[in-house]
Amino acid sequence: MRVLITGATGCVAQYLTRELLAQTDWHLVLLSRDAARIPVPDGAAGRVTAASGRLHEPDSYGAALQGIDAAALVATAWGGPLAYATTVAGNARLADLLIAGGCRHVVYFSSASVLGRQGELNPVAARLGTDYIRTKYQLVEAMEPKADRARISGIFPTVVMGGQTGDDPMPLSELAKLLLKIRPWHWLIARVTAEGRFNVTHAADIAATVRRLIEGAGARAGGGAERHILGLPPARAGDMIAEVLAAAGRRHRPWLRLTPRNAGAVIRAFRLPITPWDRWCMENPDQGYDMAIGPDAFGAPVAMPNLTAGLRMIGYR
């Protein structure tokens, strides 16, 4: 099989590249804005084709799109003037080009934040979402109608942990960067707890799930659209704070409980910037998905069974 991966220099795409090279004999076509920056694991050069192009102009990838059997559309735009052109129009056009060339399975990456608790699209995300959230919502609307021509698998990660230090480094996810950045503030965080529930997933577990989905699609004829919310079982925000502190050798002794009401007072007092989406999430603190799954749902091992395991991977202390 020839499998295409976009956003090849990013955290999740690098984990996916490593997973597919280690667990399959597939040839990978890796796309990025600059092919020279795509990391190719040692010994894998003969199984990898790297190509440059711009996702908001998918035709720029040219011959790299030929002969693709399955594709993982990981690349995205976090915001800005090209957010829609990249995340929605670019991915939709790329999917059309791939399907027209014979691609049987397209896996696209959205976000669990655009879904309601039962896996339905949440219209609030389209109405109040940031550029990133709104375009991830629109991406679902753009991709699912293509299911009459190919299998369309939507990946909806919850909060993504990722990264590894030591002799075998891997790039950090945004959550990992944030957790490392707040270490000097552990003394203050230890005094605070919060309402709400959240799921966390690891980039390695996302990669293993995508591999299983691509492998399984070969045994299923025809098209169809499916949604997969990825994450560990939801945990309470206060318990997650305690887990982070414990990994750093600190005890959680909160005296302030953040609620939507007093959190709003703190934001006003310090004149902190807040978007309408931030406010909606603050007023709806239960962001947990009981239906979230991991690679074990497809018979693959779980790399991060709990948040502490992910913290150890990045050397958290």
Q: Is the pLDDT assigned to residue 247 strictly greater than 50?
A: yes
Q: How many CB atoms neighbour CB 279 within 10 A? A: 15
Looking at residues 47-73, what average pLDDT do you find? 91
Torsion of Cα atoms, 111 then 114 then 120 then 124, to 10° = 180
Residue with tokens 């690891």: 202
* Stretch 145-161: mean pLDDT: 97
Distance, in Å, from the CA atom of 90 to the CA atom of 76, rounded to the nearest integer, reads 9
Lowest-confidence range among 220-234, 264-278, 286-300? 264-278
The CATH architecture annotation of domain 2-162+199-232+289-303 reads: 3-Layer(aba) Sandwich (3.40)
* DSSP-assigned letter for residue 132: H
* Model pLDDT for residues 85-99, shown as the tens digit of each residue: 999 999 999 999 999
Predicted confidence at residue 217, as pLDDT, reads 67
For the chain, the structural domain boundaries read 2-162+199-232+289-303
Q: What residues contact residue 84 under an 8 Å CB cut-off, 6+ apart?
A: 131, 135, 138
- pLDDT at 303 exceeding the cut of 50: yes
pLDDT of residue 219: 47
pLDDT(60) > 90: no
- CB of 172 within 8 A of CB of 162? yes
Q: pLDDT value at position 47? A: 93
Element (H, E) at 153: strand 151-157
Give residue 220's pLDDT.
55
Amino acid code (one letter) for 100: A
Which neighbouring-strand residues pair with 51? 31
Mean pLDDT of the chain: 92
- Distance CA(113)–CA(42), nearest Å, equals 36
